[in-house]
């Protein structure tokens, strides 16, 4: 039984991926038609919301930072209304 599994797994890998490629491909295709923003927070803290959020796409000279989880939530909710960062992947940190 284990041999058969290995053989089918190997054959699947030789064909360019695992058995879930169809699912992944479908998800990738639908993602191309959906507006999206990938939010990349710096180190998360449990501190209270500050409201001072800095969103960056040019990371030249940036060396780290921290941001409260509440500020990340605030950014996401605000972005849903504004759509200022649609199609981008901003790194967010406390200002």
**pLDDT tens-digit profile of 32-79?**
677 899 999 999 999 999 999 999 999 998 888 999 999 999 999 999
Give the whole-angstrom CA distance, residue 24 versus residue 27.
5
DSSP string, 13-58: HHTTS-TTHHHHHHHHHHHTTS-----EE-EEE-SPP---EEEES-
**pLDDT tens-digit profile of 16-36?**
555 545 555 555 655 567 789
Residue 2's H or E segment, with its range, is helix 2-14
Q: Note the pTM of the prediction, 2 decimals.
A: 0.64
Checking if the pLDDT of 13 tops 60, the result is: no
């Amino acid at each position: 039984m284990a041999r058969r599994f290995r053989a089918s797994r190997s054959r699947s890998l030789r064909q360019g991926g695992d058995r879930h490629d169809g699912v992944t491909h479908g998800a990738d295709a639908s993602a191309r038609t959906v507006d999206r923003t990938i939010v990349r927070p710096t180190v998360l803290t449990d501190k209270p919301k500050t409201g001072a959020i800095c969103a960056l796409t040019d990371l030249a000279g940036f060396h780290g930072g921290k941001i409260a989880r509440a500020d990340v939530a605030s950014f996401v909710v605000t972005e849903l209304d504004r759509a200022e960062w649609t199609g981008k992947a901003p790194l967010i940190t406390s200002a």
